[in-house]
Each structure stands twice: as C-alpha cells, then as structure tokens.
Amino acid sequence: MQSILFVSHCILNTAAKVVLYNQAEIDAEEQLRRRFVGRALETGVQLIQLPCPEFTLYGARRWGHVSDQFDNPFFRDHCRRILEPVLQQMEEYLACGERFEVLGVVGVDGSPSCGVDYTCTADWYGSFEGRQGLDETLASCQLVRRPGVFMRVLTEMLAERGWQDRVAVRSLFAPEPDKCLGLLPAD
C-alpha cells in the first residue's frame, strides 16, 4: 500500500512563493517545511504537487496580495481549471483503494490562496502612485480564521464529488506544526 499526499506547490518549490521580507517568519516556515518534507520522504509518502494558482496567473514578479483581491469569479475560475486535472489524479488513487491510501491535502496557512485555517484579509485595491495613507492601508492586513481562495475552491470541488470525508485538508503553519505533521505516518 502506497500513501499519497497532495501538497501546495511551494511546499516542494519555494521559488514559486511571492518575495517575502519577514525573516523570522520565513525561517520558521522553512524549518517546518524541511521537517515535514523530510519526514514524508523518510516514511515513504508519495507527494503530489498542486499547481500554484498565483504563479500561474501573475508570475514571479507579483506583489503580495490579500484573499479579498483574489476572491473574484476570474481567479476562482482559474483555481477550478488548474485543479481539475489534479482531482482526476485523486479520483484514480481513491478508486484503487487496495493499492493506495490518500492521506489528504496540505496547504499553507496565511496565504491568500492556499490558507486552510488562516488567510490574510484587507481592503486593498488601486494604484500606489500619489496615494494618501498608503502605510495605513498596508498595515490594515490581518490574519483571519478562514481559508484562502484556492483551498476554498478545492474543498468545494471535493464536496461536489462527495469526497469531503475521504480527503483531509490540513495546512503547514509554523505556530501549529502538528496540523501537517499529524497527517504523516508515525516514524
């Protein structure tokens, strides 16, 4: 029996991430990422990389966004389209239950797209040029307890297929490491 885990793209490829500047947060996430991926490999878990919805729409030079900006029909449709082939793969693994065990999906908390329990929110829009109160606008960003847009679309697609109880959706989040580590087999 092989164990299969679907993971957000940047859990295996941090080059896709938006450029970040908070070194303490970067270090904490990287430490957990290495622990999580290392343990997955050591325990023989097969990792399937989800597509990155932001890189595939906005590329490597994108700004940091909040979930409110991505919560529109166009971005949600993009998420749905790039997830469709992944869910076809998942369907096949679930259909061959005597050979494969689907452990679940792991997102990245805090992301406007891949957050599972937490995402970032603010009333952000518009150009920066000549803008009054830009610092206050940027500082209004908050971590809130709800999923990012990509993970919300994914959970909707799981529910449409009746798989919501078969596929656990968890997240990599440095302050709460057990959420992702708990999906892996014990050492």
Binding stretches for ligand SF4 (CB under 6 A): 8-10, 16-17, 52-55, 108, 111, 113-114
Q: Which residues pair with 106 in a beta bridge?
A: 7, 170
Q: How far is the CB of 114 from ligand SF4 (least distance, A)?
A: 3
Residue placing its CB nearer to ligand SF4 in the complex, 19 or 95? 19
Q: How far is the CB of 16 from ligand SF4 (least distance, A)?
A: 5
Residue placing its CB nearer to ligand SF4 in the complex, 45 or 78? 78
**CB-facing half-sphere around the CA of 124: CA atoms within 13 A:** 23
Q: How far is the CB of 109 from ligand SF4 (least distance, A)?
A: 9
Contact 6, 150 (CB under 8 A): no
Q: How far is the CB of 47 from ligand SF4 (least distance, A)?
A: 13
Q: Is the dihedral of CA 145, 111, 138, 78 positive or negative?
A: negative
Q: How far is the CB of 25 from ligand SF4 (least distance, A)?
A: 13
What is the spatial distance between Cα 186 and Cα 3, in angstroms, rounded to a whole number? 13
Residue placing its CB nearer to ligand SF4 in the complex, 173 or 183? 173
Residue placing its CB nearer to ligand SF4 in the complex, 17 or 152? 17
Closest CA to 106 of 19, 149, 22, 167: 167
Tell me how crowded residue 46 is: count the other CB atoms within 10 A of its CB. Answer: 14
The strand ranges marked E within the chain are 2-7, 46-49, 100-108, 119-121, 142-144, 169-172
What is the spatial distance between Cα 111 and Cα 71, in angstroms, rounded to a whole number? 13
CA dihedral angle for residue 175, residue 181, residue 183, residue 184, rounded to 10 degrees = 170
Q: How far is the CB of 62 from ligand SF4 (least distance, A)?
A: 9
Residue placing its CB nearer to ligand SF4 in the complex, 101 or 176? 176
Residue placing its CB nearer to ligand SF4 in the complex, 90 or 114? 114
